[in-house]
Amino acid sequence: MVPGRSLPEAAATGDDPARSAGWQRELRSAVRTADALAKELRLSDDELAGARAAERSGFPIAIPPHYLSLVDRDDPNCPIRRQIVPRAAEQHISRGDLRDPLGEEAHEVAPELIRRYPDRALLLVTDRCAVYCRFCTRSRMVGGGGGARSLVKLAPALDYLRAHPEVKDLILSGGDPLTLTTEKLVAILRAVRDVPSIETIRLATRVPVVLPSRIDETLLAALRRFHPIWVMTHFNHPRELTPESSAACERLADAGFPVMNHTVLLRGVNADAATLAELFRGLVRLRVRPYYLLQADPVSGTGHLRTPLATGVALMEALQGRLSGIALPKLIVDTPGGLGKVPVGPDYVVSRGDGVTRFRSPRGVEVDYVDPE
Ligand code: SF4
């Protein structure tokens, strides 16, 4: 047993320490306690109080070595550090904060299966992540216990999918599905592929960013058999585009996985146009499509990390015309209560007349578009 890792965690990921791969050893050596964090970083009083509170809260700390190596050890305002080191403000509930902002518990149609749209659903295959992001929408349940979900536990969800062939697209999430052993992940994918109506599978994962060694040839060979699989990853800052994470994305792309990226807009992390432009351009160079720029969900205790909606709109305006379409994600608000995602952005319409719409162009010049007769 590696210090800092509990017995239940070993059982949850299902790995046998004697046979574990490099990525599993890396995961086991993640920093998980306030004391371990204080040995690695010069913590502010605010961070130390936050880390101690996190240990008691049920929303744990985990920072694997690769991601920790990106953190500025002396600067509490480091954009990587703000994502993963708890602050005392996590205990503060701001206006509009919700424990379950997307109403996932109300949309749970079978154990571990959430359905908020007609054609797609979300299967929570584990509650474990390689890293615990302090802004996580599912902070109410990730790292909370239970670990990898067994096929027995997932059977009612699979029965539901069989009985609802209108669901075509299944997102494996959690927790992070790539923290499961390859064997467990393959067993789940095989069971999902046994549901004939499921056309596409998506893996929602931060592993390429925080634990890139996990994206190895063994994993790719195992997953390739279940194509079409899309990988939905989650880079928030250009400093995360390391040689290791870049190589992980390129391996995924080379193995035929379309890779899409969600970026969460976060105060003190990426809420400026130059940072986002550098991130989105860097992703496109790796063949990763910047897909959504997400307005942070109003999760309890994240007010210090969220930006006003107007900030995101102003950033989109600054990026529009400066980045090519393939590098420009949609700005999305996932409406509270789980009522669905809505795109938001600057309004370019100046007036609407009889078959004539006047636009403000990205160059600032007004121009008419005339409808056909
Ligand atoms: S990796 Fe994803 S699910 Fe896990 S804590 Fe971060 S945002 Fe939440």
List average pLDDT for each run of 10 residues in the chain, which is 373 residues long.
Answer: 36 50 93 97 97 92 98 97 97 92 96 97 98 97 91 98 98 97 97 98 98 97 97 98 98 98 98 98 98 97 96 96 94 95 95 95 91 93
Is 33 inside any structural domain? Answer: no
Give the pLDDT confidence score for residue 169 in this predicted structure: 98
Question: What are 267's two structure tokens?
Answer: 């105060």
Report the residue count for the chain: 373
Nearest CA to ligand 1 atom 8: 136
Is 80 inside any structural domain? Answer: no
Give the pLDDT confidence score for residue 4 in this predicted structure: 35
* 175 Cα nearest atom in ligand 1: 3
Give the pLDDT confidence score for residue 211 in this predicted structure: 98
Give the pLDDT confidence score for residue 19 in this predicted structure: 59
The 3-state DSSP composition of the chain as helix, strand, coil percent (nearest 5) reads: 35, 20, 45
Give the pLDDT confidence score for residue 8 in this predicted structure: 37
Give the pLDDT confidence score for residue 57 in this predicted structure: 87
Is 206 inside any structural domain? Answer: yes
Could you give the C-alpha distances from 197 to 152, 154, 193, 194, 212, in angstroms and in order?
A: 21, 17, 9, 9, 32
Instruction: Please identify which of the residues 99, 117, 224, 322 carries the catalytic annotation.
Output: 117
* 129 Cα nearest atom in ligand 1: 4
Is 83 inside any structural domain? Answer: no
**Residue among 13, 90, 132, 297 whose CB has most ligand 1 atoms within 8 A, to mutate:** 132
Give the pLDDT confidence score for residue 21 in this predicted structure: 80
Is 1 inside any structural domain? Answer: no
Q: At 132, which CATH number?
A: 3.20.20.70
Give the pLDDT confidence score for residue 122 in this predicted structure: 98
Is 191 inside any structural domain? Answer: yes
Give the pLDDT confidence score for residue 17 in this predicted structure: 53
**Full residue range of the structural domain in which residue 171 is found:** 7-27+95-344
* Ligand 1: lining residues by beta carbon, under 6 Å: 129, 131-133, 136, 138, 142, 176, 206
CA of 281 to the centre of ligand 1 (A): 23
Active site residue 297: yes
Active site residue 116: yes
The reply to whether omega before 303 is within 30° of 0 (cis) is no
Give the pLDDT confidence score for residue 58 in this predicted structure: 84
Is 88 inside any structural domain? Answer: no
Give the pLDDT confidence score for residue 321 in this predicted structure: 82
- pTM for the full model? 0.93
C-alpha R_g of the chain:
21
Question: What are 294's two structure tokens?
Answer: 């997400």
Domain count, the chain: 1
Nearest CA to ligand 1 atom 6: 133
Secondary structure string (H, E, C) spanning 278-307: HHHHHHHHCCEEEEEEEECCCECCCCCCCC
Give the pLDDT confidence score for residue 67 in this predicted structure: 98
Give the pLDDT confidence score for residue 271 in this predicted structure: 98
**Residue among 61, 123, 136, 203 whose CB has most ligand 1 atoms within 8 A, to mutate:** 136
Active site residue 341: yes
Dihedral of CA atoms 221, 225, 229, 234 in degrees, nearest 10, equals: -20
Is 74 inside any structural domain? Answer: no
